[in-house]
């Protein structure tokens, strides 16, 4: 599994923002108010992923308490992080497209409340993307101590001899 590239996350957000802007520009009058409940949900997910990453990093380095992680658990956390970053980018992009559309009419009450909910969702989604990328980075295997890499057959240093 390859690490998530920030440009892929940005591309997901941009495509979602464009799609949201197109849909909202055609249907804004018939849409209900944008809910604010996504903000605390995204922030709670971000907190959970950040804490999981911090715990995982400490355990992989041998500093954490408790028994070591199973390799499959680390892979599952990496998959969760990849999925969370993509989903948060899509949700943030949708909210950004909504925000771009309503930004022109902030003097009205309904678009102003929608803009506040959309801005909060964009910020919370960005926090979740950052936490997910952090968790994914924590899932990388630690570097071997000096001298161990050259001892293993098939390692790059052993092949150079």
> Which tens digit of pLDDT belongs to each residue from 1-26?
788 898 999 999 999 999 999 999 89
Of 65-69, 91-95, 145-149, which one has max mean pLDDT? 91-95
Output phi, psi for 118, to 5 deg: -65, -40
The interaxial angle of helices 71-102 and 38-60, nearest 10 deg, is 150
Given this model, what pLDDT does residue 160 score? Answer: 44
With 90 as the cut, is the pLDDT of residue 119 above it? yes
Residue pair 59/138 in contact (Cβ under 8 Å)? The answer is: no
Given this model, what pLDDT does residue 146 score? Answer: 67
Q: Helix or strand or coil: residue 122?
A: helix
* Confidence tier at 66 by pLDDT (50, 70, 90): confident
Break the chain down into helix, strand, coil percent, rounded to 5.
Answer: 75, 0, 25
With 50 as the cut, is the pLDDT of residue 101 above it? yes
Q: How many CB atoms lie within 10 A of CB 91?
A: 23
Given this model, what pLDDT does residue 17 score? Answer: 96
Environment class of residue 151 by beta-carbon count within 10 Å: exposed (0-12), middle (13-18) or buried (19+)?
A: exposed
Environment class of residue 157 by beta-carbon count within 10 Å: exposed (0-12), middle (13-18) or buried (19+)?
A: exposed
């Amino acid at each position: 599994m390859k690490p998530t590239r920030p440009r892929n996350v940005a591309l997901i957000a941009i495509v979602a923002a464009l799609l949201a802007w197109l849909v909202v520009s055609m249907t804004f009058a018939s849409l209900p108010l944008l809910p604010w409940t996504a903000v605390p949900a995204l922030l709670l997910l971000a907190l959970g992923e950040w804490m999981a990453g911090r715990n995982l990093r400490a355990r992989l380095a041998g500093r954490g308490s408790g028994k070591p992680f199973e390799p499959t658990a680390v892979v599952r956390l990496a998959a969760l992080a990849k999925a969370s970053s993509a989903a948060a980018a899509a949700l943030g992009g949708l909210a950004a497209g909504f925000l771009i559309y309503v930004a022109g009419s902030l003097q009205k009450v309904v678009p102003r409340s929608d803009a506040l909910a959309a801005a909060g969702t964009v910020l919370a989604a960005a926090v979740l993307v950052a936490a997910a990328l952090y968790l994914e980075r924590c899932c990388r295997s630690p570097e071997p101590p000096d001298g161990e890499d050259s001892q293993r057959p098939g390692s790059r240093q052993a092949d150079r001899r």
